[in-house]
Structure 1
Amino acid sequence: MSSGTRAFRVAATGARVITGVAVIAACVVGVATAVHAPWPVVEHDPAQVEVTPVPGDSTLVCNGDLRALGRDSSAPLDMLSAASPALTTGGTGGDPAAEGLAMTDLPDAGGPQVLTGAVDGRSVPLIAGAESVTIAADDLAGYAALPCGVPRLESWLVGGSIDTGTEDIVTLTNAADVPSTVTLSVYGPARSTRTVIVPARSQEALPLTSFATGNDVPVVKVSAVGAPVRAALQSSLVRVLDPVGIDLQDSVAGPQQKLVFTGVQAFAASGDDAEMAVLRVLSPGLAARVQVTVRAEGATGAADEFTVPVEADLPSQVSLSGLEPGQYTVEVEADVPLVATIRQQDGFGLDSDFAWVMPSPELDVDVAFAVPAGPDARLQLANTSDRDATVTLEALDGGQPQEIVIPAGRTGGLEVTGRTAYRMQTTAPVHAAVTLTGPGALAVLPVQASGAGEKPITVYP
């Protein structure tokens, strides 16, 4: 074999080796790249469609007659009707329809009212109602007001007392066509529960002392099965045989991490003012450190600021003392959900009154609210957001709209008229409450969000 042929074979063999090495290297690089690259997958997006449910009628439940407890010394837990409230209603589609419910234990009394705003096509009217009562009797005296509200499967009553001289009553109203089984769970040093059946379209009432004994500052969780109920608390106080106030307190839907109380008032007191304004707070399930900030109307800084440690499941009270007379907003915040309320009073003796102030929810859409009959009324507004809010107020029965600008982080207010329903619009989130204040008359009604309209939901067939 010639040397030229051998050289050709060596060259050919070398070329094949080099080509093979290159192919192997390319395969290695390809495999390595494929490992890190996304692999093709077969996927199918589920069919979905956005649907806006057909809205239902707007419904609110009003509480009915004020009750008197213990007027018969032979039956101290029996109740009688003490007074019928004046009811103020209104709506964007006209006055809502009103229908009475039964009071099974007070057959001759004026029962609760159910207000209904009927849907017009897909348009749901904004409706509002509020009731108020003034009484001057040997065992009950003062002024009380309560907005008509929405029944719930779960709600909380944060105020109330079982101290000597108090006669507090829990009312449970069932506006549905089926009975409701309601469990009342009391938080405090002596935990207890009570179960009651509320028949369809009726109201039941229980003295607070009948199931909250041993709890000086009770908080009651109301759980309903079968149908939602409207829970409320009627409170009254007698000192040294003198009646010194009544109140009607609404329930709250559940614990929240931040609560805003607007419409809090501080009154002048001779001597110790530790009981003039008191904060009650409960942290269900977990201990908490609660930050409390008190701001005067129109002020930029805090009038008072402090931290309160709260044990799990044990209600606590702290005094909001040392405040100059005036209007305030109180912010209560923690890293766990809380329920809370503020009790305020304008004096200690005859011709004085008190009121439980409930948290005011954040409002960023149109709402309707009613101002009941009573003393001078004012709409208190708190803007806890970072932008200015322009609030427009218009009476539903006509009249010139009012407008006010609430700067970011500030509070303000507008005078409003009793026996009038209003529509409120805002350009930024605000908290609002109606305060009614006069000699021996005190009430605070937070403005609640109106449940008009239904939000779209996504349906997966």
Structure 2
Amino acid sequence: MSGSRAFKVAATGARLATGVAVIAACVVGIVAAVHAPWPVIRHDAARVDVTPLPGDSVLVCNGDLRALGRDAMDPLALSSAGSPTLTAGGTSGDPSSAGLTVQDLPDAGEVRVLTGAVEGRSAPLIAAAESITLATDDLSGFAAAACGVPRLNSWLVGGSTATGTEDIVTLTNAAEVPSTVTLSVYGETRSARTVIVPARTQTALPLTSIAAGDTAPVVRVDATGAPVRAVLQSSLTQVLDPAGMDLQDAVPGAQQKLVLTGVEVFASDGDDDEMAVLRLLSPGADARVQVRVVAEGAGSAADEFTVPLEPDLPAQVSLSGLEPGRYTVEVDSEAPVVAALRQQDGFGRDADFAWVTPAPEVDGEVVFAVPSGPPGRLQLANSSDEDATVTIEPLDGGASQEVLIAAGATAGIDVEPGATYRMQSTGPVHAAVALTASGALAVLPVQPSAGVEKAIAVYP
């Protein structure tokens, strides 16, 4: 082979080798690019956290207790059974008070509407509660309820139409326009009734008028036009003797996790199946509910069980077998549920009962009122994974109290009846005021204080 030809063959081989190397490099580059993250063009929306200017803090009370059937000529007529004692306070002094008319009770006292006026750019925290003790032929016991915020949607989880019960639904409209209220009953049979509540008035109707035949009903309250405050007054007669009464506030809506604190189980000489009964409802869906009962001062469960629920059908579970003492009941459900627990301290005359509703989660600073009555105790439940420290102090001055609540545990602090307190916590807790004496029971969940405005995200 000549030198020229040999040179050409060598040059061609070099070009081929170079081409193969370039192709291989390209393949490797493409493979790497496929698996590597590609550049992303992203535009984050502008966001501003804005705290709205607060409005006046407003609370609506319940007013007089009502008696049913005292007029033999009109057994469905309602009359005033007595006016309650009011306990109120706020961070800027006592709130102002105005009265609403009660058209169907001409002899009744006023229904109080309490207002804490905005000062500058902040609204005072206010709290109030009413209480009453009766000992008549048809009503006996102690009843108390916190004054609350009207709602467009709420639930009454309690009451009965069984023999010996006289339960009354009270609806209060503190707005300047009428409210159209639909009461939908969930129970053995479904029913509904629509009621017009005029502006700045209160009206009431017997539970039997909307839930006849249901021994364990749940009532959904839907208002249009103006929000209303719904309260269930319950009373019981056993063997012709009055055996307790209660005022139960409505709960705002169904949730998957509920905490009922302030529960107390009493010793019984008879059937303890009725001493503490939990009522549950899953609106519109099947649900499997896990119930955990924790004693005050303990972190481990005293009882734990599962309850299957059918859609729209209330179920009741007895907490029999628990030792006498104070407890917190935790409800964890696959689907949103509503719940309440009925506790009683005995049977017949000189007995009383109380409905315990879920205590919402509160964090930071709140104000609560302890109504006049028997000795009070603030029960605190910490369902979070971190310890929390709670401090309370009377608004009118006095020594503060502090308690550390371990994660998953409950604790209690004694409080004075007829006083209002400021409560601060280092973490989220659930709280309820329990008032207990022989023949006198009431449990009032501590609510987030009216007047507190939370920041909202605004995307311009």
1:64-98 per-residue CA deviation (whole Å, 9 max, x = no partner) reads 11112222233222212221111110111111122
Letter matched to residue 164 of structure 1: T
Residue 216 (structure 2) pairs with residue 189 (structure 1): no
Aligned to 1:458: 457
| Counterpart code for 2:118 | V
Instruction: Label 1:31 to 1:437 Cα distance change in 2 as closer, same or farther (>3 A).
Output: closer
CA pair 23-395 structure 1, distance change in 2 beyond 3 A: same
Partner residue in 2 for 1:325: 324
Deviation of 1:17 (Å): 4.3
Post-superposition Cα deviations, 1:159-185, rounded to whole Å, max 9, x if no partner, equal 001012211111112222222222211
Separation in 2, partners of 1:267, 1:320: 11
Q: Secondary structure at the match of 2:330?
A: strand
Q: Which residue of 1 aligns with 2:60?
A: 61
Partner SS, residue 210 of structure 1: helix
The separation in 2 between residues aligned to 1:355 and 1:167, in whole angstroms, is: 14
Q: Which residue of 2 aligns with 1:367?
A: 366
* Contact in 1 for aligned 2:58/2:149 (Cα 8 Å): yes
The residue that corresponds to 2:404 in the other structure is 405
Shift of 1:10: 4.4
1:146 maps to: 145
Q: Is the 8 A contact 2:100 2:200 kept in 1?
A: yes
Output the amino acid matched with 2:454.
K
CA distance in 1, matches of 2:14, 2:162: 104
- Per the alignment, residue 445 of structure 2 pairs with 446
Shift, 1:446, TM fit:
1.3
Counterpart in 2 of 1:133?
Answer: 132
- Give the letter aligned to residue 208 of structure 2: T
Q: In 1, Cα distance between the equivalents of 2:34 and 2:303?
A: 63
From the superposition, tell whether residues 376 and 37 of structure 1 become closer, same or farther in structure 2 (CA, over 3 Å).
Answer: closer
Q: What TM-score, normalized to structure 1? A: 0.92
> 1:312 deviation in Å?
2.4
* Number of matched pairs: 460
Provide the residue aligned with 1:263 in structure 2. Answer: 262
Structure 1 residues 12 and 450: CA distance shift in structure 2, 3 A: same
Distance change in 2, residues 1:33/1:405 (3 Å): closer
Q: Deviations over 1:8-41 (max 9, x none)?
A: 5444544444444444444444444444445555
Deviates more, 1:77-86 or 1:11-20: 11-20
Q: Could you tell me which amino acid in structure 1 is paired with residue 122 of structure 2?
A: S
- Is the CA contact (8 Å cut-off) linking 2:262 and 2:443 kept in structure 1? yes
Structure-1 residue corresponding to 2:354: 355
Provide Cα deviations, 1:334-368, integer angstroms capped at 9, x if missing partner: 33322111111222112221111112223332111
CA distance in 1, matches of 2:44, 2:295: 55
Does the residue aligned with 1:428 lie in a helix, a strand or coil?
A: strand
Measured in 1, the distance between the counterparts of 2:385 and 2:430 equals 14
Gap regions ≥5 residues in structure 1: none
CA offset at residue 398 of structure 1?
0.7
Task: Please give the alpha-carbon distance, in whole angstroms, between the structure 1 residues aligned to 2:429 and 2:146.
Answer: 19
Q: What displacement does 1:7 show?
A: 4.4
Deviations 1:187-226 (A, max 9, x none): 1110111122222222221211111113110011112222
Alpha carbons of structure 1 residues 40 and 9: separation in structure 2 relative to 1, 3 Å: same
- In the alignment, which residue of structure 2 is the partner of 1:104? 103
Q: CA deviation at 1:146?
A: 0.2
CA contact (8 A) 2:116 2:125 kept: yes
Q: Percent identical across equivalent pairs?
A: 71
Matched residue, 2:215: 216
Identify the residue that residue 436 of structure 1 maps to in structure 2: 435
TM-score of the two chains, using structure 2 as the length reference: 0.92
What amino acid is aligned across from residue 74 of structure 2 in structure 1? A
Could you tell which deviates more after superposition, 235-244 or 82-91? 235-244
- Name the aligned partner's letter for residue 429 of structure 2: V
Deviations 1:90-138 (A, max 9, x none): 1111111222222232345223222222222332322100001122222
Q: Which amino acid aligns with 2:68?
A: L
* Code of the aligned partner of 1:162: T
Farther off after superposition, 141-150 or 199-208 = 199-208
The 5 A counterparts of 1:410-429 are 410-429=409-428
The CA RMSD measured in Å over matched residues stands at 2.4
**Cα displacement (A) at 1:441:** 1.7
Distance 2:28 2:350 in 1: 92
Counterpart residue type for residue 233 of structure 1: L
1:341 aligns with 2:340: yes
Aligned mates of 1:39, 1:338 — CA distance in 2: 46
Which of 382-391 and 344-353 deviates more?
A: 382-391
Alignment of 1:73-88 (within 5 A): 73-88=72-87
Match of 2:310 in 1: 311
**Distance verdict in 2 for CA 1:36–1:134, change over 3 Å:** same
**Does the Cα contact within 8 Å between 2:392 and 2:400 map onto a contact in 1?**
yes
1:298 aligned partner, one-letter code: G
Which residue of structure 1 aligns with residue 271 of structure 2? 272
**Cα distance between partner residues in 2 of 1:246 and 1:208:** 15
Q: Secondary structure at the match of 1:366?
A: strand
How many Å separate the matches in 2 of 1:418 and 1:264? 18
Q: Give the secondary-structure state (helix, strand or coil) at the position aligned to 2:246.
A: strand
Aligned to 2:94: 95
CA contact (8 A) 2:53 2:122 kept: no
Q: Distance in 2 between matches of 1:399 and 1:211?
A: 48
- Quick one: distance in 1 between partners of 2:38 and 2:260? 56
Alpha-carbon distance between aligned partners in 2 of 1:458 and 1:261, rounded to the nearest angstrom? 31
- Partner of 1:227, secondary structure, is coil
Q: Mark the runs of 5 or more structure 2 residues left unpaired by the alignment.
A: none
Query: Once the two structures are superposed, what CA deviation does each residue of 1:29-65 show, in whole Å capped at 9, x if it has no partner?
Result: 4444444445555543333333222222222111111
In structure 1, distance between residues paired with 2:430 and 2:37? 51
Per-residue deviation, 1:394: 0.6
